[in-house]
Amino acid sequence: MSLSIESRCIHLEDDDRAARYGAVSFPIYQTATFAHPALGQSTGYDYSRVQNPTRQQLEKTVAALESGTDAVAFATGMAAILAVMELFAPGDHVVTESDLYGGTPRLFRTVCEPRGITFTSVNFSKGMEEAAQAITPATKALYIETPTNPMMNVTDIRVAAELAHAHGAVLIVDNTFLSPYLQNPLTLGADIVVHSGTKYLSGHNDTLAGFAVVKDPVLAARLREVSKTIGANLAPFDSWLVLRGIQTLAVRMDRAEENALALAHWLQKQPQVSRVIYPGLPEHPGHELMKCQARGFGAMLSFEVTDKTYVPVLLKNVKLIRFAESLGGTESLLTYPVTQTHADVPPEVLAANGLSDRILRLSVGIENVNDLTADLTQAFAAL
């Protein structure tokens, strides 16, 4: 039978339960190597860098959730992005979204550009004109986040895919902010989806992970070869932690999104807040587009205070909400992008993206919303 996405977070539709002796929780195969039955024979597993049963179960789960043919699990989200970039050669060109998680352009600048790949950044959310003008005969990919980090810009995935394919390029989408529960870029025309599995997929701020998901078997084989060769694969125990986290992905995302909308409305009423940026608000420029290409608006929001001096006071006075990097866990986290996630982004790029030193990013967790509101109330009272 065909399962809903909520059930697919918990059950693989083609799961072979007999192969694990009826264990409800998938076993952790904590082994580096596997014995061969005889010369020229294999159990299907030889060495955990190449494949491990626990990691394979996780990869099948993520591929199913994203409607992909294959998913490759990596030690971190950055390792997954680097592996995807290894699909390109010196002389290739990539058009990227200008408002990306700060570690991504740092990777492009410090690792990819020295090996001959070039990049042009544009604002995809304003339409495809600027992106189309940036495409050259050497362009092999378009790379976007939607919504973006941290300015929550929304890009039309279908249109971006059409533009990429018209020029013989692939579309790569970082789907970390919404997770496969709320958005499936591969079904909208994207070719590769990447995730920081550390975030919503794991969901408990207790492990690092990354994924690259594809629908083309040829791309899948190339990614498998890269992962096998560079060896940045996810370990068995971490694979099990993410598997366990995904089981509650649906209920966590539903609760966190409900909380995020309530906090967005609360923040709009505060005189010290000049702007709340959340796609779930009807006035957000990407609100209607997200209703067309996603099943929800997520639990990430950013807000801008009226005075820069308010920032350290808020960060010091939140108690239930933690002042920390990362996102997507059960706990609510408050982040200051210009000194944390985007510290390596040049000031002129921050300014062009509208990311000022008065903007804070809030990853809303699954705590009781009244407790979260009370925490923000007492923190704002200190201003």
Catalytic residues: 49, 101, 174, 199
Instruction: Mention every residue, 6+ apart, whose C-beta is less than 8 A from residue 154.
Output: 125, 146, 147, 148, 279, 284, 285, 286, 289, 290
Structural element, H or E, at residue 55: helix 53-65
* Residues in CB range of 83: below 8 A, 6 or more apart: 72, 74, 212, 223, 226, 227, 230, 232
Q: Under a CB-based contact definition with an 8 Å cutoff, are residues 235 and 73 in contact?
A: no
Helix axes 249-268 and 369-381, enclosed angle (nearest 10): 40
**Residue 319: is it exposed, middle or buried by C-beta count within 10 angstroms (0-12/13-18/19+)?**
exposed
Task: Name the DSSP class of 33.
Answer: B
Q: What is the DSSP letter of 345?
A: S
C-alpha of 39 from chain center: 42
**Residue among 79, 98, 108, 76 at smallest CA distance from 201:** 76
Element containing residue 315 per DSSP (H, E): helix 310-317
